[in-house]
Copies of this chain bind each other. A is one copy, B any other.
Amino acid sequence: MKNSSSSPLFVQLGALILFFLLSLLRSPVTASAEIGFMSPELAAFKARWLMAKNNWGILSTISVDLGGAPFGNVVSFSDGEPGHGFGVPYFYLAKLEPKGGYEINGTRAALTVSEDPLGTCRKDAQNPNCSRISLTGKLKWISLENPEIKFAQVALFTKHPEMKDWQSYRSFQIYKLDLEDIFLFYLFGSPMHLTPKDYLKVPPI
């Protein structure tokens, strides 16, 4: 039991090989949903693949303007340069509320991303064969003095070249999602729950 929880190298390698074999099929998600079982290691790979390949999602927040009602914003994100995604999404945001420009730093949020825009699922977007992920946590401002800013800028500007032009709008600032919980949806019913530790230990994708 200790071995399986500490995930030794051969387990990770095994999951990597399984993931590669499944990816030879049209979509890794299709294959696994048909099989109907996914190990935590494979789920973590899938989650990281979905985040590394995708460019946008929807940030759910609780709106002050709307008296505490849920609200959603379409946001572009990046977890690193192509091929070097580390799993933590960075954003370039000005405001998230319909009207007011409240403090974004520290805001509770969930980023939800669908496999649909990747073109790898041929099913309905709500079919579990078309995977999706929801990452929850708090938005954290990355100041220009923070050493992390360089990584974040390269991550965002390589995947979203247009964002360079947005620098002239001083209201745009870089934030990341400080991860708390990760939920991968791949079968009807409850999503697979991953901890940030499970999710972040996958090598860069």
Whether B94 lies near A188 (C-beta < 8 A) is: yes
Contacts of A58 in B (CB 8 A): 57-58, 60, 72, 112, 114
Specify how many copies of this chain sit in the oligomer: 2
With an 8 Å Cβ cutoff, the count of chain A residues facing the other chain is 51
Contacts of A75 in B (CB 8 A): 125-126
Contacts of A111 in B (CB 8 A): 72
Contacts of A193 in B (CB 8 A): 98-99
Taking the complex as formed, is A62 at the interface, i.e. its CB lies under 8 A from any CB of chain B?
yes
Whether A55 lies near B160 (C-beta < 8 A) is: no
**A70-B60 contact in complex given A98-B181, A124-B162, C-beta closer than 8 Å:** yes
**A74-B132 contact in complex given A56-B126, A160-B126, A162-B123, C-beta closer than 8 Å:** yes
Taking the complex as formed, is A15 at the interface, i.e. its CB lies under 8 A from any CB of chain B?
no
Q: How many whole Å from A57's CB to the nearest CB in chain B?
A: 8
Contacts of A125 in B (CB 8 A): 55-56, 74-76
B-contacting residues, A62-103, CB 8 Å:
62, 66, 68-76, 92, 94, 98-99
